[in-house]
A and B are shown apart, each in its own frame.
Chain A
């Protein structure tokens, strides 16, 4: 275990705040300067977070880079940060996507650039904080803090129904999380009764050995909070609204990182703290995941708006993550984590691609396009690559994740595996059919004849994602190795039951 006195996690978490401070001092008329400061802050955040990967010791499941100082000692609340193999990749994904997301809305947002960039950076702080926190209250604070900037991003810079979408997003998420707060408090006093220590330290709640009926209710409360965030069927209705209305960067972050907080929550809290309930809930969660996979895919097929299609595809993909996780074997869980990263990359990229089309034509209806390949050949090939990654074609990252998840699911039960495979086929259907209608054929609309191919900035934010799409697809070992010890330890805790 590497011990460092340098508080690297705090630096990564609060670096965006420094950027906000600088932006606050810039006159709001200097749009370009504000954009550059925000972008450079996010890039700096990514480069500061890179050493985490190299210095991370993958042989141990113990938390690393730990910072632990009292915050509110009267309640036993600590400022406790640390990461393990599960959160490491998610933090890197966050810093990576944040930088690219800022680049992707360079020209799309022209009003209130200052507030927009401040919101994006604040969001980054919240997200990294969620993945680093090892204290319940600290976690909860970051979890909720992140809501405000996302709410503003959707509500101020979003599409025509943005207010509805933003308020729905906020209230939906909040109603899940307040019940989680009640469960956390309940757990806190339960822990006090059995150990005599007031603490909100998440790790000390592992192996608490709660009676199974209490585990049931607590699991349910946490389940609600996380299932809304994932979102699992039938709590997914906020997602299409939020995605369709959000500006491109908002969608990228929402799909890429925010949804992962739900799945991350399951891994960090539900599984290790309520192992008995986890096992009991497996049939229900598997069912909901399968419904999500198939339902999400079917609804995607029926969409005539590209962005909505991608949004519903997220419901389907996150269903895979949940399926793999609750297969409760090493392949499934590892597949689930890698699939979280994959989904962040490929769906993030899909939203960026939709954003590129939207910036050119200001519509997202599939019927408005057709034959785009003729005018934007490079764009077409990259789009196809990203679509392949999203449907899990071998050689791309999606394949690795889905394969592992399917292995896990088949190991758990053949039925789950078979049904999940149906979802894979449907995934190919909606993506390829959409691709066909948008890109192939003749140009039917005059407005599409003048479209320009991708510009330098667009390459700059799409190419890095594509590099990772192929890298994970071809050689996923460096990523999978990092999470090995943590996942094994996690499963050990669950399987003790």
Chain B
């Protein structure tokens, strides 16, 4: 009995407990009439997120290099890698909540469930980052996905939102099936679902070419590839990103993608290092497809949410480039890029939310005409995020790409890097389209296209300022961030 008790180390899951507690509190607060249709839920969940951040930051172990702590019979791991990812998720959640408050007010939907679901999704992501075992990771994925299905259809009176939720749910459960099947096959051939166990088994038992194991690995690749939105498993992304409420799109594009990457990297680097020969060529092809398809289709999108959906596919492709260049530089590159991406993408979506107005009526590139004349500051900050997404210095997007591509070149992936940088040139075109619309049309034609008054609430301004500062500081003074990222390097056996 005592043996069991020692491995249940509750302090390892304090951040998750805190978030769960707060989401339950929010659900309960709902039953009080005086709380209804107020913004309290948002602020309460903010407190929850901030306290979780504090716990992740000030865990007793500090930020020792190569610190790893297993608990719950090896099902749960806390290391700097997972803690860094948790901070990214919490950052994404924080910014999303700040954006959501005003949005829900506009839609007259200030329900507690919305925030509770966001917090639940965040817990799911954190489980994915900390899972040291396939079933734990699977539980995290499910918790995250189910919350996201519900959130996607949250604006229930809007047809497009319902459609998106249904599509996401059907395709998502299908992909989950693949993932589970993969886990089952792996369990069948290795006798364990423990990531370290699988790795040890593969290293010792001389069955590397075994069809079952490779099949299991491929099925897991499909399952996670769906969550990350890799081509050719990306079909859901544009529809879901377009249909979901704008703050949820922002949320989905940053946190869940990062979470899927966290699990993906841990599984592939930790469990399948001996199978690297099998997956390198495959992932090379997927990376090229993901970057190219995402960028090229984004070129012709008029709906800006859809455009950023394709752009987010392309960004997953860049991250895969770093993934291929496994090793310290590649993995820390992924961490750096995901952090940057969280800032710049949520920042861009924050502005999209504001400009969309009530009912998200203004989300075409055309609707941005003349923004630069009427709201120069909003337009300048939007351009900052777009330039960062395009990877132009001195923004974080540039440093992130620099990091990724230098890792790729170090490992000798020169062809892939050239494809990657040319892709980022392609992407410049569609990011520029938005700046063209904002700044470069005649002020005469702009006057016909009346722009409604935009409302900036303090919460929105805080979200935008945090994102903008993040993007700029990641671009101009990256060395502090690089230091943190280096300490969060995934410890491999």
Contacts and interface: CB of A to CB of B under 8 A. Distances in A.
Interface of A: 70-75, 111-112, 115, 137, 140-141, 144-145, 147-148, 151-152, 155-156, 162-163, 166-167, 170-171, 174-175, 178-179, 181-182, 185-186, 188-189
Nearest to B406: A185
B325 to A, nearest CB: 12
B469 interface: no
9 contacts: A71-B479, A73-B479, A144-B392, A148-B392, A167-B432, A170-B432, A174-B425, A185-B405, A185-B409
A189 B410 contact: yes
A167 B429 contact: yes
A201 to B, nearest CB: 16
B483 A178 contact: no
B443 interface: yes
Contact of B405 (A71, A72, A148, A182): A182
Nearest to B392: A144
B323 interface: no
A27 to B, nearest CB: 12
B414 A182 contact: yes
A182 B478 contact: no
Contact of A178 (B422, B443, B482, B486): B422
Contact of A155 (B387, B405, B414, B439): B439
Contacts of A137: 402
Contact of A141 (B372, B398, B409): B398
Contacts, number: 83
Contacts of B47: none
10 closest Cβ pairs, A-B complex:
A178-B421, A141-B393, A185-B409, A155-B440, A175-B425, A74-B482, A72-B479, A144-B393, A185-B406, A163-B440
A112 B373 CA distance: 8
A483 B6 CA distance: 75
B207 interface: no
A174 B391 CA distance: 11
A151 B418 CA distance: 24
Contact of A182 (B394, B409, B429, B482): B409
Contacts of A185: 405-406, 409, 417
Given A141-B393, A175-B425, A75 B418 contact: no
B184 interface: no
Contacts of A175: 422, 425
Q: Is the interface of B mostly helix, strand, loop or mixed?
A: helix
Contacts of B409: 182, 185-186, 188-189
B480 to A, nearest CB: 10
Nearest to A137: B402
A223 to B, nearest CB: 15
Given A72-B478, A178-B421, A155 B393 contact: no
Contacts of A188: 406, 409
B406 A148 contact: no
B421 A155 contact: no
A74 B422 CA distance: 26
A145 B376 CA distance: 20
Interface in B336-370: none
A111 B405 CA distance: 41
Interface residues of B, number: 33
Given A74-B479, A74-B483, A178-B425, 12 more contacts: A75-B406, A75-B482, A155-B435, A166-B440, A170-B432, A178-B424, A179-B421, A181-B405, A182-B418, A185-B405, A188-B406, A189-B410
Interface in B471-493: 478-479, 482-483, 486
Contacts of A155: 435-436, 439-440
A267 to B, nearest CB: 23
Given A178-B424, A181-B405, A72 B436 contact: no
A446 B373 CA distance: 38
A144 B398 contact: yes
A167 B486 CA distance: 37
Nearest to B405: A185
Given A166-B440, A179-B418, A115 B376 contact: yes
Most buried by B among A73, A147, A174, A186: A174
A221 to B, nearest CB: 9
A145 B393 contact: yes
A155 B439 CA distance: 8
Contacts of A70: 479
A448 B393 CA distance: 47
Contacts of B393: 140-141, 144-145
Interface string B362-403: 000000000011001000000000010000111000100010
A171 B429 CA distance: 7
B428 interface: yes
A70 B478 CA distance: 12
Contacts of B372: 156
A397 to B, nearest CB: 35
B428 A170 contact: yes
Contacts of A111: 443
A215 B393 CA distance: 27
A138 to B, nearest CB: 10
A152 B436 CA distance: 9
A451 B131 CA distance: 79
A75 B407 CA distance: 11
A179 B406 CA distance: 13
A137 B417 CA distance: 17
Most buried by B among A73, A74, A112, A189: A74
Contacts of A167: 429, 432, 436
B432 to A, nearest CB: 6
A48 B111 CA distance: 61
A230 B482 CA distance: 36
Contact of B392 (A147, A163, A179, A189): A147
Nearest to B478: A72
Contacts of A115: 376
Contacts of A145: 392-394
Nearest to A217: B414
A182 B422 CA distance: 10
Nearest to B439: A156
A70 to B, nearest CB: 8
Interface string B416-434: 0110011011001100100
B417 A182 contact: yes
Given A141-B398, A144-B393, A171-B429, A74 B486 contact: yes
A171 B432 CA distance: 10
B440 A182 contact: no
Given A74-B483, A144-B392, A152-B439, A186 B414 contact: yes
